[in-house]
Amino acid sequence: MRGPSTLIQAEDNWQTDMGAWFSGERVVFRGKDLFTELNDFSWFKLLMLGITGKEFDDNQIKLFEAIWVLSTSYPEPRIWNNRVSSLSASAKSTGSLASSASTAVSEAKIYGGQSIIAAIDFIQHAKKIEEDNGSLSRFITEHLKKNRAIAGYGRPIIKNDERIEPLHKAAKALGFDQMPYIQLAFRIEQMLIDSRYRLKMNIAGLVAALISDQKLTPREHYYFTMLVFSAGSIPCFIDAVNKPEGSFFPLSCERLNYK
């Protein structure tokens, strides 16, 4: 429904099943009382309830937290989104503005959130091919011919992704290393290594498999990772804000090639 009638129906009327604040009394969060039913939830467990409407067990929450901690929590100011945070600090902007800008550029297609969405789409298509008794190798070959790349495999700077081993180890410790999608992800990696493409899995491929095994949709994963870089970008802001203004990676005039 569109047009004036939509606005008329929405005037002073917002229908939601997310929750509500009853002033001086209580807060409802996804149909539960925040103060009496969810008061012992961790912040991350509450976040995942808000995103999905589901209550995940402790091991699942530990897995989701491990993805955040081990995949993106790099306090390295040269990384593209952290650089925005550091530059903001060096310009003496505020932490909230720096975090907002850093979060916005984290949706990059090659390195950021969009890459994992593409990796989820790929591995879920690959799983369906297998379930339908199709040829996985043919699917991979055709995908490469069409797209010239596979989301979740290959890395532009170096071949090995240092995050794979620790995250896989964490998943194994939590009992999630033998599930269908993660097993498929490593089979695909071996097929690519044995082929002329020599592609190894990157962190997007592993995260896509873990997320798919936990039955999160691509959209839920997007919400789940909206703040995923914050544990790295905030320290970068703090580091730069405590240094002289404008001192973050300055370039002398002699280094510029004027034409």
DSSP 57-122: -HHHHHHHHHHHHHHH----TTSHHHHHHHHHHHTT--HHHHHHHHHHHTT-SSSSHHHHHHHHHH
Question: Which domain covers residue 230, as residue numbers?
Answer: 57-242
Of residues 10 and 229, the one with the higher pLDDT is 229
pLDDT (0 to 100) of residue 65: 98
Q: Which of 117, 115, 82 is nearest to 101 (CA)?
A: 82
**Parallel, antiparallel, or unpaired: how do β-strands 19-22 and 26-29 relate?**
antiparallel
Q: Which two tokens stand for residue 52?
A: 């999905």
State the pLDDT at residue 87: 98
108 and 27 belong to one structural domain: no
Q: Has residue 1 been placed in a domain?
A: no
- DSSP annotation string for 191-208: HHHHSTT---B-HHHHHH
Q: Mean of the per-residue pLDDT values for the chain?
A: 94
Q: What is the pLDDT of residue 71?
A: 95
Last residue of a domain, one of 55, 80, 101: 55
Which whole number is the average pLDDT over 5-27? 92
Q: Does the residue 249 lie in any domain? A: no
In terms of domains, do 79 and 121 share one?
yes
Non-local CB neighbours of 81 within 8 Å, separated by 6+ positions: 102, 103, 105, 106, 108, 112, 229, 233
Return the residue matching tokens 């699942």.
Answer: 60
In a domain? residue 254: no
* Nearest residue to 147 via CA among 216, 197, 88: 197
118 and 194 belong to one structural domain: yes
Same domain, 128 and 146: yes
C-alpha 157/C-alpha 23 separation (Å) is 53
Q: What is the pLDDT of residue 6?
A: 87
- From the CB of residue 223, how many other CB atoms can be counted at a distance below 10 Å? 15
- The 10s digit of each residue's pLDDT in 64-111 is 999 999 999 999 999 999 999 999 999 999 999 999 999 999 987 766
pLDDT over 80 (residue 226): yes
If pLDDT is split at 50, 70 and 90, which confidence band does 157 have?
confident
Asked if residue 43 and residue 104 are part of one domain, the reply reads no
Domain count, the chain: 2
Q: How does pLDDT run across 178-196, given as a tens digit for each residue?
A: 999 999 999 999 999 998 8
Residue with token string 């190894």: 200
**Whether residue 23 sits in one domain with residue 124:** no
CA distance 99 to 77: 13
At residue 1, the pLDDT reads 60
pLDDT at position 30: 98
- Residue 174's Cβ-count burial label (10 Å; 0-12, 13-18, 19+) is middle
The number of residues making up the chain comes to 259
What proportion of the chain, given as a percentage, has pLDDT over 90?
Answer: 83
pTM (2 d.p.): 0.91
User: Is the same domain home to 218 and 153?
Assistant: yes
Share of the chain above pLDDT 70, in %: 98
Residues 74 and 112 in one domain: yes
Q: For the packed helices 113-131 and 203-213, what is the interaxial angle rounded to 10 degrees?
A: 60
Neighbours of 109 (CB within 10 A): 11
Number of neighbouring beta carbons within 10 Å of residue 40: 6
On whether residue 95 sits in a domain, the answer given is: yes
**Residue 3 or residue 253, greater confidence:** 253
Q: Are 123 and 186 in contact (CB under 8 A)?
A: no
Task: Say whether both 85 and 172 belong to one domain.
Answer: yes
DSSP character at residue 31: T
Q: Residues 29, 38: contact at Cβ < 8 Å?
A: yes
